[in-house]
Structure formats: structure tokens, C-alpha cells
Amino acid sequence: MQRTFSIIKPDAVSRNLIGQITQRFEENGLSVIASKMIRLSTEQAEKFYAEHKGRDFYEPLVGYMTSAPIVVQVLEGEDAIAKNRQIMGVTDPAKAEAGTIRADFALSVRENSVHGSDSPESAAREIAFFFDEKELCPRN
């Protein structure tokens, strides 16, 4: 079993896609073990995406991520990190495989509906960024 961190981004929350996106996770064997809706501060968004600081898309990305509420979730399942990236599709929705969340729902490279951790290290960091250990509810 592995855990990964997911964000349902502003474009998706604003279009009432929380349920449809969460369904994709659940029907592919990923269980939601923590979930909350929040509005990111600029400081939080800058820190969360610090690895991209200096890139031309960084400031608009921070502006977009703080523009409306998001849903942050911890997903658990076998090979959860890679499985979630597969369910999401690649960053650019125009290049994402048919049937992935980004191919089906994303509006643009920036407004691409979901975030998912890309490694065990980022999953651990990102989960701890938003959740206390006691907020996680693993299945028995």
C-alpha cells in the first residue's frame, strides 16, 4: 500500500467536478483517506510550488491556484503514486491520453484540473504540508 497527495484544482472545483474526479480515483482502486476544501494563500501556493520558482509560468500558476477553493486529498492504494499519475494524464491536456482526467476535464496546461505527487519523497512532503497525521483515516 502506498499513499499519494492529490489536489482538485480551482478550475475543476468551480465547475462542480469534485464528485466525478473523486469517482475516477475510487473506481481505479484508490481510497480517499483524508479530504478537505481550502482556499490557498499566496504564501502557501508559493511554498507548495517552490520547485518551479523562476519559471515563466510560476507567478500565473500561484495566481491561478489562489483564485478559488481547492480540494486536497490523501489517496491510498497499491502503487498509488504512479496509478494516480496515470489516471490524471500528462500535464498538457492536449497531449493527455483519452479517458484521463486531464484529457476529459482540463481547460489548459495551467488550468489542468488536478495535481498528483510525482515521487514518494514529494508525496510525503505534500501530505505533511496539508495534513496532520491524526487527520488521516486509513482503511482497516
Residues lying near ligand DAT in the complex (CB under 6 A):
57, 61, 91, 109-110, 112, 115, 118
Strands 2-8 and 114-116, by their bridges, are: antiparallel
Nearest distance in Å: CB 80, ligand DAT: 15
* Cβ closest to ligand DAT, residue 44 vs residue 110: 110
Query: Is 125 among the annotated ligand-binding positions?
Result: no
Give the catalytic positions in this structure: 115
Q: Is 83 annotated as a binding residue?
A: no
Toward ligand DAT, which CB reaches closer, 2 or 49? 49
**Chain-centre distance of CA 68, in angstroms?**
15
State the helix-helix crossing angle for 80-88 and 18-27, rounded to 10 degrees: 130
Q: How far is the CB of 63 from ligand DAT (least distance, A)?
A: 11
Consult the annotation and say whether 9 binds a ligand: yes
Cβ nearer to ligand DAT, comparing 42 with 137: 42
Task: Confirm or deny that 102 is annotated as ligand binding.
Answer: yes
CA 98 to chain centre: 19
Q: Which three cell numbers stand for residue 10?
A: 480551482
Residue carrying C-alpha cell 476529459: 104
45, 55, 108, 113 from 52: Cα distances, Å: 11, 6, 18, 18
β partners of residue 77: 2
Q: How far is the CB of 38 from ligand DAT (least distance, A)?
A: 18
Binding residues for ATP, as ranges, are 9, 57, 85, 91, 102, 112
